[in-house]
A and B are shown apart, each in its own frame.
Chain A
Amino acid sequence: MGGLKIMAPIAWRNLWRRKSRTLLTITAIAMAVASLIILGAFMRAWGGSAFDRTVEALTAHGQIHAEGFLDDPTVEHAMPQPAGVLLDVLSGQSVAAWTPRIVALALIRSERESAPIMIYGIDPKRESAVSFLKPNAIDGAPLTSATSKGLIMGRSLADRLQVERGRRVVISAQDENGDIAEIGVRVTGFYKGQPDLQKYAVFVSLKEAQALLGLEGEVSEIAFLAPQRDGINVAIEDLKQAAPDLDIRRWDELQPFAKAMIDLAEGANLIWIFVSFVLVAFGLVNTLMMAVYERMREFGLLQALGMKPVLLLVQILVESVYLVVFGALAGAIAGAVTVNAFSGGLDFGHLGIGAEMFGVSQVLYPKVSAAEITVACSIVIGLSILASLYPALQASRRVPVDVLTRAQT
């Protein structure tokens, strides 16, 4: 269109005629785009971190129990160790790793104190492939096999019980027959992190827990990981087919609070998009209105010279397109650079427990992709141009003869 060819250079020069206002508008748009990108990256890092933390804090991608166990976690609701079709699926393509556990309420006693706990009997090799409980998460001697002697507890529980490494503690729990069973075990190590678990989760070998509770050959829980996050549903489906009588649940059914936190992280992002756009839209409409009002005489002149109202609209829109595109580009660059600067990890360690309470690990790893930048830019560019239609229409609707010919008489 010939009109655009005439108007584009004029629009371009007009931008530089009002340098400070142009820069101000570009800055506002850039800040909106940059904050979208930066906040988006952090929110996703936060959501991802909250998910990872939930998964590694024993929940995994999903769990299998005997029917009734989740309501009443007692020895009656144990199930046989996986075998047959279920074992085939667990060892197959749709499941990346799995681990059997004994889980039971118990009482722990040291020489000085006692506390209610959850006792976990685990297979250390399998467990380390599924949860946080890996050898390097442990101060002292980790459990080495499903038959090892020894006990791992959290540091905060150890402080409460006033036990040191190497000391014996006594665990008591209700066994298969309803009697109280007891074993004495030596504390061999303490695990790091997991402030919530530290207060109550205590680990022994699977064999030891089975012996204590009289559950030879049985387990209370199987936790599993799918190969990827988006493969979880497939794994669940396969497992349900293999074991229709067992209670098989996804992580978000097991941890609804964590699920809510992760959803919030994503929802907050949308709210921020909306808020920052409203701010930019107001600023942009305001700036363009000022620019249009100031130049009514010029627009009148253009129309007196025979420029059609539509072309005038085009001219004003072209000016805002320049502003918005430059702003968005600057913002995209600023956002990407900022996110990249923190991609090695942003340490929230100094916030300590506060951040961990929200299910976030102490270090976030924000990332940004070209697709996300494109989306952020498109949203802001599209909506800003829409917002600038209003003053453009105002200016082109009629010939402003008053200001054109009578302003100085």
Chain B
Amino acid sequence: MTAVIECKDVKRTYVSGKIEVQALQGVSLNVSAGEFVSLSGPSGCGKTTLLNIIGGLDRPNGGDVRVEDQWLNELSNSQLADLRMNRIGFVFQAYNLIPVLSAAENVGFIMQLQGKSTGERRRRAKQVLDSVGLSGMENRRPAELSGGQQQRVAVARAIASSPAIVLADEPTANLDSKASDALLQLLRQLNEEEGVTIVIASHDPKALEYARRHVRLVDGQIHSDA
């Protein structure tokens, strides 16, 4: 099977003041369509940096990343935005939602950027919110939802726009264990039923249980991959 994500010797160096931090020191990694990969490692090992680069939010100093058939170095910022809109879903640790939009509007937001009709968005948002267990909460604003509910809205949004890849960065870090389980269950379902490729960065052991492939980063390098 061809890789849907291909990282080729990716390097990223941050300069703050006179200190250089080598966040990624040459990471090569292939992820095939339909995989559920965990990215673990001690804090500061480069997990977030790698996810940002794969998602086109940040650019590497060396190496390149291919997502499906596009090498990211060749894309403009605007083309990267299009790639994120159509092919990649993000779930962050917190603040995933636009504060002034309701749950349903947040779920429909990417579809709105994609130019889908209001009717279609509303139908799909309701359906997806139902499927993540948030029936009846369509009109709540993020501030009126619990942390776990907010994270599930973020996953619902990813589901609604049917991306090829979901990149989740510490999605359970702010959740209690019950909410963590519910969220991870959702991601697994998304992976198994829709065939969405999932990469989840986490040092939560529970997250590792749900993944079928485990990549461990240490000091910006791949330490193990199994």
Binding site for B on A (CB under 8 A): 2, 6, 10, 13-14, 17, 297-298, 300-310, 398-399, 401, 404-406, 408-409
Of B78, B101, B157, the contact of A310 (CB 8 Å cutoff): B78
Check: B74 CB closer than 8 A to any chain A CB.
no
Interface of A is mostly: helix
Closest chain A residue to B143, Cβ basis:
A17
B110:A302 contact, CB within 8 angstroms: no
Task: List A contacts of B55 (CB < 8 A).
Answer: 304
Given the known A-B contacts A401-B58, A405-B92, A409-B43, are A307 and B98 also in contact in the complex, defined by CB atoms under 8 Å? no
Alpha-carbon distance A401/B101, docked complex (angstroms): 22
Q: Which 6 A-B pairs have the closest CB atoms?
A: A306-B85, A13-B100, A306-B84, A308-B81, A304-B90, A401-B57
A14:B100 contact, CB within 8 angstroms: yes
17 contacts between A and B (CB under 8 A): A10-B100, A13-B100, A17-B99, A297-B95, A301-B97, A304-B55, A305-B113, A305-B157, A306-B83, A309-B78, A399-B58, A401-B52, A404-B57, A405-B52, A406-B48, A409-B93, A409-B170
Closest chain B residue to A297, Cβ basis:
B95
B85:A10 contact, CB within 8 angstroms: no
Task: List A contacts of B88 (CB < 8 A).
Answer: 306
B98:A301 contact, CB within 8 angstroms: yes
Binding site for A on B (CB under 8 A): 43, 48, 51-52, 55, 57-58, 77-78, 81-86, 88, 90, 92-101, 109-110, 112-113, 115, 157, 169-170
Given the known A-B contacts A306-B82, A405-B92, are A10 and B52 also in contact in the complex, defined by CB atoms under 8 Å? no
Alpha-carbon distance A298/B98, docked complex (angstroms): 7
Of A17, A308, A310, the contact of B100 (CB 8 Å cutoff): A17
Q: Which of B88, B94, B100, B115 has the largest count of A CB atoms less than 10 A from its CB?
A: B100
Closest chain A residue to B112, Cβ basis:
A6
- Please give 6 more A-B residue pairs, beta carbons under 8 A apart, in addition to A301-B97, A306-B86, A306-B113: A301-B95, A303-B81, A306-B85, A306-B110, A399-B77, A405-B48
Closest chain B residue to A302, Cβ basis:
B98
How far, in Å, is A223 (CB) from chain B's closest CB?
A: 69
A305:B85 contact, CB within 8 angstroms: yes
Given the known A-B contacts A298-B99, A310-B78, A405-B92, are A304 and B110 also in contact in the complex, defined by CB atoms under 8 Å? no
Interface of B is mostly: mixed
Of B85, B110, B169, the contact of A405 (CB 8 Å cutoff): B169
Closest chain B residue to A305, Cβ basis:
B110
How far, in Å, is B4 (CB) from chain A's closest CB?
A: 18
Task: List A contacts of B78 (CB < 8 A).
Answer: 308-310
Q: Which of B78, B113, B157 has the largest count of A CB atoms less than 10 A from its CB?
A: B113
A2:B82 contact, CB within 8 angstroms: no
How far, in Å, is B184 (CB) from chain A's closest CB?
A: 20
How far, in Å, is A405 (CB) from chain B's closest CB?
A: 5
A399:B113 contact, CB within 8 angstroms: no
Alpha-carbon distance A307/B94, docked complex (angstroms): 19
Of A17, A303, A305, A399, the contact of B109 (CB 8 Å cutoff): A305
Given the known A-B contacts A10-B100, A399-B57, A404-B92, are A309 and B77 also in contact in the complex, defined by CB atoms under 8 Å? yes
How far, in Å, is A111 (CB) from chain B's closest CB?
A: 89
Task: List A contacts of B169 (CB < 8 A).
Answer: 405
B94:A305 contact, CB within 8 angstroms: no
Task: List A contacts of B57 (CB < 8 A).
Answer: 300, 303-304, 399, 401, 404-405
